[in-house]
Amino acid sequence: MFQRLRRRISGTTVIMWLIGIAILAVVFWGTTATLSSGKYAGTQWMDLLVYGIAQGGIYALIALGYTLVYGVLRMINFAHSEVFMSGPYIGYYVAVALDRAGLLNRQPVLSLAVVILVAMSVSTTIAVLLERIAYRPLRRAPRLVPLITAIGASYFLSYAFLGLFGSDLKGYPEIQALKGTWNIMGIEMLRPQAVVIVAAVVMLAGLYFFVQRTKTGKAMQAVSEDKDCAALMGINVDRIIVITFAVGGALAGAAGVFYALLFKQVKFNMGFFPGIKAFTSAVLGGIGNVTGAMLGGMFLGIAESLFPNLVLDGLGIPAPYQLKDALAFILLVLVLIFRPTGILGERLAVKKA
Amino acid sequence: METINAQARFDWSVSFKTGLLGGIVALLVSLVGLVEASQNRPVISGIISFGQTLVLFVFVLSSIMAICRAGPDRWGKSRSPLLLCGGVAGALVGAVLAALVLIGSVINLRAVFIKASPELYNLLTMGLGAAGAAVLPVLGLCLGALVGATYLLSARLRRALGVALGAIPLLAILYSAFFPGRRFTLVGAIVLFAVLGVSSYFWSDFRGQLRKRVASLPPAGQRAYQIGLWVLVALIVLLLPVTGSYPSQMLDLVGLYILMGLGLNIVVGFAGLLDLGYVAFFALGAYTQAVLTSPEIGWLGGVHLTFWQALPFSVLVATLAGVILGIPVLGMRGDYLAIVTLGFGEIIRIVALSDWLKPYIGGSNGITRIPKPVVGPVELATPGTLYYLIIAGCLIAAFIATRLKNSRLGRAWMAIREDEDVAQAMGIDLVRTKLLAFATGAAFSGLSGSIFASMITSIYPHSFHLLVSINVLGLIIVGGMGSIPGVIFGSLALVGLPEILREFSEYRLLIYGVALVYMMLARPEGLLPEARRRLELHEAETKTIE
């Protein structure tokens, strides 16, 4: 009997399981320590939760870009983080112009809509250009090549933006209507957070409807399943791929403006961490799976918000917020060890080493 | 008659599009600030600066691309289509730049594009101010037509001209770097151009003749020739530090990157595992070295080793880390592997930076007072002396890498790179092979890290940013994956050149990005690839010949 067991479970699997269990034990220990010490009140947890949901919405929107592109092209669009950055960057100039004209505060809803639209169009343009220039010629290349191209494009875009627009701080102008808090359903939340949550949910619902119910959406699903078959069915694969990039770009642009609303400024490298975290969410939910990306994004946002205070504080680590960013990577490793197909997904075929 | 006219009619769209594209590129180059930044680096003193050379380069390149895309042999030797094609492309580039100057002198573009200043416009129009904007399309037309005219010459002459012209700015930069304060004069540049042109024209002849003469020698003579060449190279390499402290520093950095490149070459180039977290091993090697040797660290119970005593430990720690980091990623394919390894690198940096480990490894204050290596009575304190240590390290690494490449393990790595399933079916133990690849790569990186730590004597977490990994990846890509001369060339180009061109430091990653994208689109095997790789990547082309 032991022989059969030994053959099925290799040494590396054992080590990986040990690592995973160790991490889970640490998390458990920290959580119980924090909760039993009662250091944080209920309202603080609620604040963190709301913040986490807002962040999660943003991650979900960006993650959709990753997941959709992965679905149709089987490649990770490393430069998607720069697509995310470019929208709000240009949106910043629009916002400043609107602010100078006084429209930003007189007509906040309309101005915000304009900024979001501009950001979405810029991001879409950059995404489509990326596909056309950097990815289309490499459709049939070995796996490493488009990935490296994506990395190069990502660096090019962020440093081009740095060079073109300068490295000074670009703080979004204050919108008076978004100062302060609202009391929604008994929960006190910051106004920008509320706006972001509502807008994100609307967009996610819209995208879900688009992918599931419209003809183009179904064509996208078809192309992600099997490109050649889709072509045989009369679907213009190139056009669908462009549309996929465009949709992903638009969502990322909107997410960028939301990010700017929450964090009040844009920088040339603001795309890096959200991009990685969004990719983690996409993998968490199952890469290639639209619902999975949404859920994964939400989960990561909430987890990241609660993690420092919930786990790290309990472990006695000083200044736990410094390690917040590490959570996304740790989650990624955990997911890829224990559930490589993600929570909802089955797309990726994992090779056993 | 009709066919020639029909062909000539078609060249408009290609030249237009290429010219427009070139114009946008020139616009980008100017607005990003590359032109202004290189203002102080004259190529020919008093006449033309590097920045202006860049713009001219865009003109020339657009015209070349326009002609090549329309088909350089399409019109044979007929003059007007060639001149027209190149000229139109060049003129368009000039027109776009002229538009920038004209618009910019009316509207203040500076609120958005911070580099769009009157100085820039002045530079672009070669000092004629905004009114000289009309000069630009004309300049473009003439340059483009000239480029078209060169296509009427033989390919050899054209290549000689290209090499001579292209080498002059490069040599000017190297000249001003190694002999600060000196510049080319106009006469000097013309002479250099003539010399380079003539020598490159006769180069292929010369090479062929040399080869024949060497082949006709007896084997002993051939051996002697080879040894002579290697002795020459060795002499040059060993004598480089005499050029001064600043070039030595630059060479030290180049050497460290070569060492890291050799390691990453094994992971990415031989085994095809895209590792973006390579800086983690570099950091671990450096931190281990620092912790073990610096007198500031007290929690080890007062143990302070010398450089040489701590070196094996830091390499060991890095190797172990390579194995540990390799285990979870064994089952992952290219894209996931890249992101997860990137995550590892970032985790290590974030953790090193945090307050949590501050009492142990210094946090954001880093670790200082790391001692330099001592060889007998001599302390390797200056960059010049450290250079020899680094060269020794690189030689060892290159030796190990070459022997591994031609060994069974190396072939197993290359098999994995091609197709894991087939490799496994052939009986290669994937786990062992992959872990060995990670471990070897990590060992080289750890070695490089420990030398780095004692070279700069104080390390901070900021030195171990993701950018280091991207740098190393970039130099392998550009130099040629899997090829050792490629790594050396890539390091000189991508690490040495930016050190010389200090004023470009903020555009460094911009250029990296462009270089990576371009290399992948045009020449994915790199500039000095190993023959096997080139065959693999151009398989489609060779197949069609059958």
| pLDDT tens per residue, range B429-466 | 999 999 999 999 999 999 999 999 988 888 888 888 88
Cβ atoms < 10 Å from Cβ of B543: 8
Contact B356 A322 (CB under 8 A): yes
* Residue B465 near residue B342 (C-beta atoms within 8 A): no
Angle, alpha carbons B104-B109-B114 (nearest 5°): 120
Q: Which residue has the higher pLDDT, B313 or A20?
A: B313
Distance of CA A224 to the CA centre of its chain: 20
pLDDT of residue B195: 82
* Residue B155 near residue B68 (C-beta atoms within 8 A): no
* Residue A92 near residue A170 (C-beta atoms within 8 A): yes
For chains A and B, count residue pairs whose Cβ atoms are closer than 8 Å: 174
Contact A93 B112 (CB under 8 A): yes
| pLDDT tens per residue, range B488-500 | 888 888 888 777 7
CB-count exposure of residue A33 (10 Å: 0-12, 13-18, 19+): middle
Any idea which of A4-13, B94-103, B405-414, B471-480 has the lowest mean pLDDT? A4-13
Alpha-carbon distance of B173 to B171, in angstroms, equals 5
Choose the closest CB to A164 out of B113, B353, B477: B113
Query: How many residues in chain B?
Result: 546
Alpha-carbon distance of A138 to A148, in angstroms, equals 11
| pLDDT tens per residue, range B74-121 | 666 666 777 777 788 888 888 888 888 878 777 777 777 877 777 777
Chain B hits for A351, CB-CB cut-off 8 Å, are 331-333, 420-421
Alpha-carbon distance of B52 to B41, in angstroms, equals 10
pLDDT of residue B72: 63
Q: Is B507 on the interface with A (CB under 8 A)?
A: yes
Contact A165 B114 (CB under 8 A): yes
Which tokens belong to A344?
Answer: 């909802």
pLDDT of residue A350: 43
Question: What is the full DSSP assignment across A71-115?
Answer: HHHSS--TTHHHHHHHHHHHHHHHHHHHHHTTHHHHSHHHHHHHH
Q: Which of B354, B357, B360 to mutate to test the interface with A (most CBs of A within 10 A)?
A: B354
Residue in chain A lying closest to B508 (CA): A159
* Nearby residues of B22 by Cβ (< 8 Å), 6 or more positions away: B58, B59, B61, B62, B65, B89, B90, B92, B93
Q: Which residue has the higher pLDDT, A186 or B249?
A: B249
From the CA atom positions of chain A, what is the Rg in Å? 21
* Residue A262 near residue A58 (C-beta atoms within 8 A): yes
Query: What is the number of alpha carbons within 13 Å of residue B483 lying toward its C-beta?
Result: 22
By DSSP bridging, strand A170-171 and strand A265-266 are antiparallel
**B380 residue type, one letter:** L
Q: Which residue has the higher pLDDT, B480 or A207?
A: A207
* Residue B242 near residue B454 (C-beta atoms within 8 A): no
Contact B470 A151 (CB under 8 A): yes
Return the percent helix, strand and coil in chain A, to nearest 5: 75, 5, 20
- Name the 3-class secondary structure at A190: strand
Query: How many residues in chain A?
Result: 353
Alpha-carbon distance of B324 to B284, in angstroms, equals 13
φ/ψ bin of A185: left (φ > 0), alpha (ψ from -120 to 50), beta (otherwise):
left
Q: Is B512 on the interface with A (CB under 8 A)?
A: yes
Q: Is B350 on the interface with A (CB under 8 A)?
A: yes
For B:11-70, CB contacts with A below 8 A are: 28, 31-34
pLDDT of residue B76: 61
User: How far is B531 from chain A, CA to nearest CA, in Å?
Assistant: 17
Which tokens belong to B89?
Answer: 């492309």
Chain B hits for A340, CB-CB cut-off 8 Å, are 331-332
The overall average pLDDT reported for chain B is 81
Contact A156 B115 (CB under 8 A): no
Intervals of chain A under pLDDT 70: 1-2, 4-9, 346-353
pLDDT of residue B325: 86
* Residue A128 near residue A249 (C-beta atoms within 8 A): yes
Any idea which of A81-95, B57-71, B266-280 has the lowest mean pLDDT? B57-71
| pLDDT tens per residue, range B214-247 | 777 788 877 888 888 888 888 888 887 777 777 7
* Residue A310 near residue A33 (C-beta atoms within 8 A): no
Alpha-carbon distance of B480 to B485, in angstroms, equals 8
Distances (CA, A) of B389 to A124, B251, B306, B372, B443: 51, 12, 15, 11, 17
* Nearby residues of B411 by Cβ (< 8 Å), 6 or more positions away: none
Contact B353 A322 (CB under 8 A): yes
* Residue B355 near residue A319 (C-beta atoms within 8 A): yes
Instruction: Inform me whether the pLDDT recorded for B518 exceeds 60.
Output: yes
What contacts 24+ positions apart, CB below 8 Å, involve B2-6?
B4/B75, B4/B78
Which tokens belong to B378?
Answer: 């001599």
Chain A hits for B512, CB-CB cut-off 8 Å, are 152, 155-156
| pLDDT tens per residue, range A139-188 | 888 777 888 899 899 999 999 998 888 888 888 888 887 788 887 777 77
Residue of B98, B29, B80, B84 whose CA lies nearest to B57: B29
* Residue A253 near residue A83 (C-beta atoms within 8 A): yes
* Nearby residues of A188 by Cβ (< 8 Å), 6 or more positions away: A43, A181, A182
Residue in chain A lying closest to B335 (CA): A76
Residue of B289, B273, B543, B262 whose CA lies nearest to B435: B273
Which tokens belong to A24?
Answer: 């889970």
Alpha-carbon distance of B84 to B7, in angstroms, equals 12
Residue in chain B lying closest to A324 (CA): B350
pLDDT of residue B1: 45
Alpha-carbon distance of B428 to B411, in angstroms, equals 10
Chain A hits for B274, CB-CB cut-off 8 Å, are 144, 147-148
User: How far is A41 from chain B, CA to nearest CA, in Å?
Assistant: 24
Distances (CA, A) of B246 to B170, B180, B243: 19, 10, 8
- Name the 3-class secondary structure at A189: strand
* Residue B265 near residue B431 (C-beta atoms within 8 A): no
Question: What is the full DSSP assignment across B503-522?
Answer: GGGGGHHHHHHHHHHHHHHH
DSSP H or E stretch at residue B156: helix B155-178
* Nearby residues of A27 by Cβ (< 8 Å), 6 or more positions away: A311
Rounded to 10 degrees, what is the CA torsion of A20, A25, A27, A31? 160
User: How far is A327 from chain B, CA to nearest CA, in Å?
Assistant: 9
- Name the 3-class secondary structure at B126: coil
Q: Residue written as tokens 């037509």?
A: B145
pLDDT of residue B130: 62
Residues pairing with A171 in the sheet: A265
* Residue B361 near residue B367 (C-beta atoms within 8 A): yes
Alpha-carbon distance of B442 to B400, in angstroms, equals 14
| pLDDT tens per residue, range B370-379 | 888 887 777 7
Instruction: Inform me whether the pLDDT recorded for B10 exceeds 60.
Output: no
